[in-house]
Structure 1
Amino acid sequence: MEGAIRRSQLIAPFGVGSMSVLANGTSVIGAGLDHWFAKPEHSDLDLSEFELSEWRLQQRLKVSKFRLPPDFRVRESSGTHPVNVGLTVPFLRFPTWSFCPFSGCKRLTQHPLSLQEKPACDAQVHANQKYESLMVQVSFVAICENGHITDFPWREWVHRDVGPTCRGELKLISTGGGTLEGQRVECDCGVKPRTLRDVTMVNPDGSSRLTSNLQPGEQFPCQGLMPWHGAHSSQACGAPIRASLRGASNVYFAQVASSIYLPQHTTGVQDALDVLHQPTVGSVVSALLDVGQEVTPEMVRKYAGPQSAGMSDDDIRAALRELEREKAAEGHTDGADIGEQEFRRPEFQMLRAKSSNESLRISTVDRDAYDDDLDEWLDRVTLVDRLRETRVLWGFSRVYPRPPTREAGKAMLRAKPVDYSDQWLPAYEVYGEGIYLEFDAEKLAEWESRPSVARRVAKLVQQSTAAVRGDTRTGPLTARMIMIHTFAHLLVNQLVFECGYSSAALRERLFVSQAPDAMAGLLVYTASGDSEGTMGGLVRMGEPGRLEPVLRAARENAAWCASDPVCMDVGDSGQGPESCNLAACHSCALLPETACEEFNRFLDRAMLVGTMSDPKVGFFS
């Protein structure tokens, strides 16, 4: 079976370990990186064509290279010598259990992960039928917080036994109704049928009903199965396991690291280094350096051709010294992760100033050119005419969007560890543009010091800690983080309305940290992988005379929601994903998850405009 998928979607949301459905209805799971880039028949394999370079992310993720997912190419003629023709990305058929939809059958049968066609039911009831009765994969899987996934334990569940010996024929029968109680599992051994009631539920103590209720008095923990690496791949786990619909949003959370390209050197040196990082040039130069041969600017010009035009010899020599330093640092993976806030600080500093690099063009605007009413809260505006973003899949999680450690996440992508020189992660690059806004530091500090603000933040921190242990991607959960994050969502929604962008075409990037060296900025940008939003439309909206109405409208939209007063007065229970929002819902502040850095969590309109009973809690009130 075959299916088509965009290369960028193999990073997220359909990367390694994810569930997707082919056009013919078959549910599949993405195979591990060990099985990518297998040499195709009747074709040569040249991996240098797919390699990407992003020095900041490579240092942070401790890998030697990134690779674009392979694109599928058809051999044009028999007389050519093809390269990288017929490359595919492997997926496995999962769940392995299927049932017969025929009303007189309903038989449950298990098939191997590698089955390459839709199975037909061979029960005796179909003996006189003219056509085959094709089986349908079940809708349920079982997942755990450590990222493992397995088939729902149908045989264990109906026998109420963590180790059943019966191998009788199972049936999955729907008795009607819209709840799981209407799904019943039967075995022809005569054991009492059992419904799927509460299999997706969680006990108050955090354990799952599937783990604690499968057999009275016995626990049924996760066995650590990893079917994306093959049928027998597993590791020690023991965490509670819970049932879930295979298409549920909590089955897979891609952990994607991204960075905005920053020039590492002056323009001339950086341009030369970019040429040396290209696979066609870099592979030759690296090979010469490995054998100890001196590489001169003349040799670089020979290999680079027209790309070296306009480069001085001094710039090329400086780029060669930097390339040697990078090669000497390869394999040194010691050191802790600096954290997302510190990783973004160089981007924060670069976005505040003018830049004319080809991959990062930033123009500053005189603050006095904007209307005076923005002086109360806005400190800086810069227009990003062009930026390059690299996105890398480094792991995934299930149940909660809480990421594992970097090393544990990378280990989930491979069945076997590899040396540093062979460590790579799937990635892709996109180009876009954006508007950078920075809030007034003094106004923020005064607002954060209000007791009512601290009480409101404590409520959301308590709720998020109970649900997802308070984890955020961009740093601790603070008042300024909640307020700037919510404002970014409202601004994106307003730009969609004003400019005609699709809501998934815009993204947010937050630069938020506390004193010392506090940050309070946000970047709204386009980087959707196609031509939408790369023609200057978003930058034009950031110009004086156009930006002010958009900012005012976004601020005014925070004051009222179509679901008010319910949305604003949600109380202590929270709402939204894992109940980690207060005054924020689909009618006012939520965005597509591809546009939000926090999976639509940690939002509260009250932090912008206050509440009816306590208006001073709002930054703009």
Structure 2
Amino acid sequence: MTPPPTRRRRGPGVPTTPLLPRKGAVRRAQMITTYGVGSMVAVDNESFIVTGIDSWDVKDAPEIHEHRLARTLGVKSFRLPPASDEKSRDGVRVRRFPLWHSCPECNVLQPVRKFNSPPGTNECGDCKEDLVPSRFVVACTNGHLDDFPYWKWLHRNNREDGATGACGGTLKLTTNGRTASLRSIVISCSCGVPEVSMEGAFRSRALTDLGVRCEGRRPWLRDAPAEPTCSEPPRTLQRGSSMAWQPIVRSALSIPPWSGGLAVRLAPHWEALRECEDDQLAFALKFISKNDPNLESISVESVRQLLEAEQAELEDLGEEPTHDTHRLALLKQEYRRLRTPSREVDGTHDDEFVCEQPTGDTSPLGEFGIVDPMLVKRLREVRALKSFTRVIAPDSALEDQITEAPIALTEQSWLPAMEVRGEGVFLRLDEKRLDAWAAQEGVMHRVERIRANHERLLRERASDPQHVPPSPATPRLVLLHTLAHALINEWSLDAGYPAASLRERLYAEGAGMAGLLIYTATSDSAGSLGGLVAQGEPDRLATTLRSAVRRAEWCSADPLCIESEAAGAGSINLAACHACVLLPETSCERNNGLLDRALLVGTPEDLSIGFFHELTGD
């Protein structure tokens, strides 16, 4: 990462190329999930904010193509975050933030520019000690970010009526060390006002009650004007808090016909081919192949088939597509492909999607309600950073309601993304058995409690509480979600996979979908060489399912866990805790929400509400 170039006067002996010192490094994958645009990165004793993608130098960054996801997000392509070494001048730009720092020696608290630091350093000009960036920042739900107003916090209720302007004193920050709480962090001023601790600064209305309003600043966007019309109340956050930056990442699997070598070779030219009339395809393809020898063997008919496939996918979106219809269309297309065997063609290894039926007898899986399991021997997933939120966690159900902070000041034709390759196991439940189970009164009652709590949470987070979409919580979704967690935990114990290396992908929201995909994928290898696929063979899968169900019968937190009336963030879980079915956040697509272990095995009072209750007991 490199900070933006400093402005220097040109003159004799002064190079025209700005000096861009390197300020640390992160992995490319972290630029999507952990340290993306708008996030704050700690580098040694300094703190920086990652700037928008319109300031990145991506001329050498590899381009990624994923047709369906690009159409959903309204871009032409994706790019890997740029990589740079010690000698290169490209890469991801960062800016210093927060701007308020303190000196651990003299305790002075002020903007960093007032410390008179020697060029190229971040130290106190008087004490020669490294400065400490402010631990606290201010953010709002619209994504704005600013320094904590220390002067206003200290001088509250200590100014004469009608007084304006600053007092002219010097602020100091000290820690008395008596406790680890905010009460021990004390702010004082040389003007003589009583010192004040940071206790209470995190209350939701702490800053609003002082008359502090959000000034609409966006320090991650170069030359971005402030948005002073922001009406959201500012909130105090710790600089390293997860709520200071929550990424909105969208992903899609590469499926036929876009997963084959033909689509990959045509991807850079697809925009031009799409605009051609049917009788112009041959001429356009011939013209393109002159500059790209890889296209010489492609027939007009194969291109026409891709165009027809694209048109069929557009019809799935309807006449007025929304964020939700785009997302559901992606899942439905993947669900259809996961149910259809797709073998490797001609052994060329060009196919990014290979899905086959198990070779063994699948009849033992009938008692579990599993039908037609599939072994996904090869898959590719593209994960793109669309935007981010602050203060509140993103929720796919509120895509049209929450304010997403932009990752660029000007519209871009690309988004930062990463591609991962791996393998997985796809399971589908018998829909007739599933529907009969979901119609039980006890099942509906438990899911209704989850749904009610979720819709209450959605209303609290929505910009317009009167127009909140319904919660996706249904018996089918909660059951499949909890089953996926139980299987991931079981495979992490039985097959040696860390739980964080496995991920779930649920297919339960749209009509006619009742499946789940558990997969492992990494960005720096070709998957796990068959280890997870081997767990999907019928004999092993039956053993794993039986063990997962028996393990779900009992939790070390029982009876509190199984009798819980509400659990988890926002109370959108029932019987689910870290001792039974919760997973690392990277493995779950719903932030460990909408889970209930009782829907797998039942409760002591009513075993029948468990989908697998016949397999429980001695």
TM-score, normalized by length of structure 2? 0.82
Q: Which residue identity lines up with residue 91 of structure 1 in the other structure?
A: V
- Alpha-carbon distance in structure 1 between the residues aligned to 2:273 and 2:514: 43
2:245 paired with 1:252: yes
State the shift of 1:56 in Å: 1.0
Per the alignment, residue 28 of structure 2 pairs with 7
State the shift of 1:454 in Å: 2.2
Please show how residues 410-429 of structure 1 align to structure 2 within 5 Å.
Answer: 412-416=406-410, 418=411, 422-429=412-419
2:378 paired with 1:378: no
2:439 paired with 1:449: yes
Distance of aligned partners of 1:148 and 1:169 in 2 relative to their CA distance in 1, 3 Å threshold: same
Contact 2:108/2:173 (CA < 8 Å) preserved in 1? yes
Contact 1:37/1:88 (CA < 8 Å) preserved in 2? yes
Per the alignment, residue 264 of structure 1 pairs with 257
Moved more, 334-343 or 592-601: 334-343
2:398 paired with 1:398: no
Per the alignment, residue 63 of structure 1 pairs with 75
2:46 paired with 1:26: yes
Per the alignment, residue 78 of structure 1 pairs with none
State the shift of 1:530 in Å: 2.6
2:417 paired with 1:431: no
Choose the corresponding residue for 1:305, options 265, 269, 293.
293
Structure 2 residue runs without a partner (length 5+): 1-21, 313-318, 345-350, 462-467, 614-618
Per the alignment, residue 587 of structure 1 pairs with 579
Aligned length: 561
- Alpha-carbon distance in structure 1 between the residues aligned to 2:287 and 2:166: 71
State the shift of 1:523 in Å: 0.3
Runs of 4+ in 1 over 4 A off after TM superposition: 115-118, 161-164, 281-289, 296-302, 306-309, 316-319, 321-326, 403-411, 470-475
Contact 1:254/1:397 (CA < 8 Å) preserved in 2? yes
State the shift of 1:438 in Å: 0.8
Per the alignment, residue 283 of structure 2 pairs with 295
Contact 2:507/2:516 (CA < 8 Å) preserved in 1? yes
Per the alignment, residue 84 of structure 2 pairs with 72
Distance of aligned partners of 1:448 and 1:63 in 2 relative to their CA distance in 1, 3 Å threshold: same
Choose the corresponding residue for 2:454, options 450, 453, 464.
464
Contact 1:483/1:603 (CA < 8 Å) preserved in 2? yes
2:524 paired with 1:521: no
Contact 2:142/2:405 (CA < 8 Å) preserved in 1? no
State the shift of 1:306 in Å: 5.5
Choose the corresponding residue for 1:239, options 228, 232, 240.
232
Choose the corresponding residue for 1:479, options 472, 475, 489.
475
State the shift of 1:297 in Å: 5.4
State the shift of 1:69 in Å: 1.2
2:98 paired with 1:95: yes
2:159 paired with 1:158: no
- Alpha-carbon distance in structure 2 between the residues aligned to 1:316 and 1:286: 10
- Alpha-carbon distance in structure 1 between the residues aligned to 2:76 and 2:271: 13
State the shift of 1:323 in Å: 12
Choose the corresponding residue for 2:500, options 498, 501, 504.
504
Per the alignment, residue 440 of structure 1 pairs with 430
2:612 paired with 1:620: yes
Q: 3-state DSSP class of the match of 1:228?
A: coil
Q: 3-state DSSP class of the match of 1:229?
A: coil
- Alpha-carbon distance in structure 2 between the residues aligned to 1:233 and 1:489: 45
- Alpha-carbon distance in structure 2 between the residues aligned to 1:564 and 1:473: 34
State the shift of 1:258 in Å: 0.4
State the shift of 1:468 in Å: 4.4
- Alpha-carbon distance in structure 2 between the residues aligned to 1:359 and 1:387: 5
TM-score, normalized by length of structure 1? 0.81
Contact 1:285/1:295 (CA < 8 Å) preserved in 2? no
Distance of aligned partners of 1:63 and 1:349 in 2 relative to their CA distance in 1, 3 Å threshold: same
Contact 1:233/1:415 (CA < 8 Å) preserved in 2? no
State the shift of 1:315 in Å: 2.7
Contact 1:461/1:470 (CA < 8 Å) preserved in 2? no
Choose the corresponding residue for 2:186, options 180, 184, 190.
184
2:483 paired with 1:494: no
State the shift of 1:405 in Å: 4.5
Per the alignment, residue 274 of structure 1 pairs with 264
Q: 3-state DSSP class of the match of 1:595?
A: coil
Q: 3-state DSSP class of the match of 1:519?
A: coil
Distance of aligned partners of 1:481 and 1:253 in 2 relative to their CA distance in 1, 3 Å threshold: same
Distance of aligned partners of 1:220 and 1:424 in 2 relative to their CA distance in 1, 3 Å threshold: same
Distance of aligned partners of 1:307 and 1:185 in 2 relative to their CA distance in 1, 3 Å threshold: same
- Alpha-carbon distance in structure 2 between the residues aligned to 1:533 and 1:244: 38
Contact 1:275/1:304 (CA < 8 Å) preserved in 2? no
- Alpha-carbon distance in structure 2 between the residues aligned to 1:614 and 1:112: 67
- Alpha-carbon distance in structure 1 between the residues aligned to 2:70 and 2:506: 21
Identity %, equivalent residues: 34
Per the alignment, residue 137 of structure 1 pairs with 133
Choose the corresponding residue for 2:343, options 356, 359, 371.
356
Q: Which residue identity lines up with residue 356 of structure 1 in the other structure?
A: R
Q: 3-state DSSP class of the match of 1:412?
A: coil
- Alpha-carbon distance in structure 1 between the residues aligned to 2:541 and 2:470: 26
Contact 2:141/2:232 (CA < 8 Å) preserved in 1? yes
